Amino acid sequence: MHEPGWVAHAIWWHAYPLGFTGAERHALAPDAPVRHRLPRLVAWLDHLVELGASGLLLGPVFDSESHGYDTVDHLRIDPRLGDTADLDALIAAAHERGVRVMLDGVFNHVGRAHPAFAAVLAQGPSAPTAGWFRLRWPDGPEAWRPGVEPDYDDFEGHRHLVALDHSSPAVVDHVAEVMTHWLDRGIDAWRLDAAYAVPASFWAEVSRRVRATHPDAYLMGEVIHGDYAGSVTDGGLDSVTQYELWKAVWSSLNDRNLHELAHALGRHDAMLATFVPFTFIGNHDVTRIASKLTDARHLAHAVVLLATLPGTPAVYAGDELGLTGVKEDRAGGDDAVRPAFAERPGDVSPEAAAVLALHRELLGLRRRHAWLHAARVEVTHVANESIVYVCTDGDRRLAVALSTSDGESACPLPAGTRELIAGDGALLDNATTVRLPAHGWCVVAA
What confidence tier does 446 reach under pLDDT thresholds 50, 70, 90? Answer: confident
Question: DSSP string spanning 248-317?
Answer: HHHHHHHHT-HHHHHHHHHHHHHHTTT---EEES--TTS--HHHH-SSGGGHHHHHHHHHHSSSEEEEET
CA–CA separation, 281 and 174 (whole Å): 33
CA–CA separation, 99 and 307 (whole Å): 18
Give residue 417's pLDDT: 87
Give residue 1's pLDDT: 64
CA–CA separation, 440 and 300 (whole Å): 9
> What is the tens place of the pLDDT at every residue in 248-263?
999 999 999 999 999 9
Contacts of 315 (CB under 8 A, 6+ apart): 11, 12, 13, 14, 51, 53, 280, 282, 306, 359, 363
Residue 428 φ/ψ, nearest 5 degrees:
-130, 165
On whether the CB atoms of residues 167 and 200 are closer than 8 A, the answer is no
> How do strand 154-155 and strand 441-445 relate by DSSP bridges?
unpaired
Name the region of 430 (left: φ>0; alpha: ψ -120 to 50; beta: rest).
left
> What is the tens place of the pLDDT at every residue in 398-434?
999 999 999 999 999 999 989 999 999 999 999 999 9
Q: How far is CA 236 from CA 102, 230, 307, in A?
A: 18, 10, 27
Give residue 397's pLDDT: 97
Other Cβ atoms closer than 10 A to 22: 15
What confidence tier does 270 reach under pLDDT thresholds 50, 70, 90? Answer: very high
Give residue 331's pLDDT: 87
CA–CA separation, 336 and 199 (whole Å): 32
Residue 44 φ/ψ, nearest 5 degrees:
-100, 0
Statement: residue 143 has pLDDT above 70: yes
Task: For residue 226, give the amino acid letter.
Answer: G
Q: Under DSSP, is residue 77 helix (H, G, I), strand (E, B) or coil?
A: strand
DSSP 8-state symbol, 387: E
Q: How far is CA 269 from CA 249, 277, 309, 342, in A?
A: 15, 10, 10, 39
Work out the mean pLDDT of the chain and round it to a whole number: 97
What confidence tier does 265 reach under pLDDT thresholds 50, 70, 90? Answer: very high
CA–CA separation, 194 and 322 (whole Å): 27
Q: Which of 242, 314, 243, 231 is nearest to 277 (CA)?
A: 242
As a whole number of Å, the end-to-end CA separation of the chain is: 27
> What is the tens place of the pLDDT at every residue in 275-302?
999 999 999 999 999 999 999 999 999 9
For residues 35-51, average pLDDT? 98
Statement: residue 174 has pLDDT above 70: yes
Structural domains of the chain, ranges and CATH numbers in brackets:
5-114+162-374 (3.20.20.80), 115-161 (no CATH), 376-445 (2.60.40.1180)
> What is the tens place of the pLDDT at every residue in 378-402?
999 999 999 999 999 988 999 999 9
Beta bridge partners of 3: none
Statement: residue 228 has pLDDT above 70: yes
CA–CA separation, 376 and 359 (whole Å): 23
